[in-house]
Amino acid sequence: MAEAARLIGLPLAALVCLATALLLSLYGTPLAARAALRFGIVDLPDGSLKRHRGPVPYLGGLAVYGSFILTMALVFDFDQRVLGLLLAGTILVLLGLVDDFGVLGVGPKFLGQAFATVVLIKSGIAIQIGMLPEWANLALTALWIVGITNALNIIDIMDGLAAGVAVIAAAFMLIISCVNSDTSIALMTATLIGSLLGFLRYNVHPAQIFLGDTGSLFVGMMLGALAMIGKYDAVNSVGWLTPLLILAVPIFDTLFVMTLRAARRSNPFKGSPDHFALRLRRAGLPAPRVVMLTWILASAMGCLGMFNVAVEATMSLMLVAGAAGALVICGAALLRLPEAPAPEPRGDAEPDLHVMFESADPDVADMHERAMVRQAQRNLERWRRR
């Protein structure tokens, strides 16, 4: 694909990757939903944090991963870094898949993420800050990958929120990589965008399928790795701070939640209703509006990130410090909002099983598929009567 990018231009090659991944994801997401319903891999409301009406299938992340890796296989020339990314991503997909079955604890999850980080480092994907010793760069690499991976997982609390923020962040990384003529990063971010957009078709409010840990861990790791190896210092010697701006929303929510949990001396890894999106929901904003405001904030921070790569170092430091200060002020304002979540933050409708099955397979009218739809509907009815 690198040769094709030189022939037809990098933006057009990126568009081809995006479109290919989009089509595969649009087809694959309903297939994943059908598989999740068949095998009972669904997210059940629990009356506290999960207040959607009825079971919603997981495995949306499997569709994102499948469309991403199939597009890579079709259009990419594999080198060491690409193979390292794919292997690390596969490790996290398997890790998330096991976790979506509810059988994985916190320790094994972090251990799996550590293995994925080692794979990335061995393939040459690591932070390289010239003023720091090698051990410090490796430590920052591990902290960054594990941090962003879990930040995306933490922010996946509302229909379309995590996937939309990921699309926006990847879009800004795509623009910067095209400007820098960084072919590999541009094509991979374009592929990730296409995979996520196809999934978002079914994930916006009211969601018909969720990412699950399978998707949020994979997407978080990909964003962290691609942001980490981008080129930001052509003009600005501290341009490596740019990813902090592009991924500011998940970073902010993670720090906000962890700070509150630490202040209460509660388990930092146990879900709680103190996310900024849930606080906005409690303030009376409908879920789609909360998501839209979050997307706007992510876009604004991404624009600051693009501006950051073009300014000199002093201005860059002031810009990052100003953005951090503004987010701290926002966090202080959010503390004044109620902590308890509003009813039904993740959607107010059950998944349209007929839409999901029909769009997944044109032969859905056969007796086997009809029986499966009826069985899934009976399962939902039984759940509703409990």
User: What does the block give as tokens for 56?
Assistant: 């919603």
The gap from C-alpha 5 to its chain's centroid, in whole angstroms, comes to 27
Quote the domain boundaries for residue 10. 2-351
In this prediction the pTM is 0.84
Q: Is the dihedral of CA 214, 216, 221, 222 positive or negative?
A: positive
DSSP code, position 236? -
Is the residue at 342 inside a domain?
A: yes
Could you tell me the CA-to-CA distances from 26 to 19, 29, 221, 344 in Å, in that order?
A: 10, 6, 22, 26
Q: So what's the pLDDT on residue 373?
A: 45
Is the residue at 362 inside a domain?
A: no
- Tell me the average pLDDT across 68-94: 89
Percent of the chain with pLDDT over 70: 82
- Tell me the average pLDDT across 163-175: 96
Q: So what's the pLDDT on residue 129?
A: 80
Q: So what's the pLDDT on residue 48?
A: 52
DSSP code, position 190? H
Is the residue at 285 inside a domain?
A: yes
pLDDT band at 207 (very low <50, low <70, confident <90, very high): confident
DSSP letters for 92-110: HHHHHHHHHTT---HHHHH
Is the residue at 369 inside a domain?
A: no
Q: So what's the pLDDT on residue 341?
A: 45
pLDDT in tens, 9-30: 788 889 999 999 999 999 999 9
pLDDT in tens, 87-135: 999 999 999 888 877 767 788 889 999 999 999 999 989 988 878 888 9
Is the residue at 108 inside a domain?
A: yes
Q: So what's the pLDDT on residue 6?
A: 57
- Tell me the average pLDDT across 227-249: 90
pLDDT for 226 beyond 90: yes
Q: How many CB atoms lie within 10 A of CB 265?
A: 7
Total domains in the chain come to: 1
pLDDT band at 354 (very low <50, low <70, confident <90, very high): very low
Q: Cβ neighbours of residue 235 under 8 Å, at least 6 residues apart?
A: 309, 310, 311, 312
Q: So what's the pLDDT on residue 51?
A: 54
Q: So what's the pLDDT on residue 338?
A: 63
Is the residue at 83 inside a domain?
A: yes
Q: How many CB atoms lie within 10 A of CB 366?
A: 9
Q: Cβ neighbours of residue 318 under 8 Å, at least 6 residues apart?
A: none
Gap between the Cα atoms of 158 and 248, Å rounded: 18
Is the residue at 132 inside a domain?
A: yes
Q: So what's the pLDDT on residue 293?
A: 96
Q: So what's the pLDDT on residue 227?
A: 93
Choose the most confident range, by mean pLDDT, from 92-106, 274-288, 326-340.
274-288
User: What does the block give as tokens for 42?
Assistant: 């669904």
Is the residue at 187 inside a domain?
A: yes
pLDDT in tens, 26-51: 999 999 998 888 887 787 665 555 55
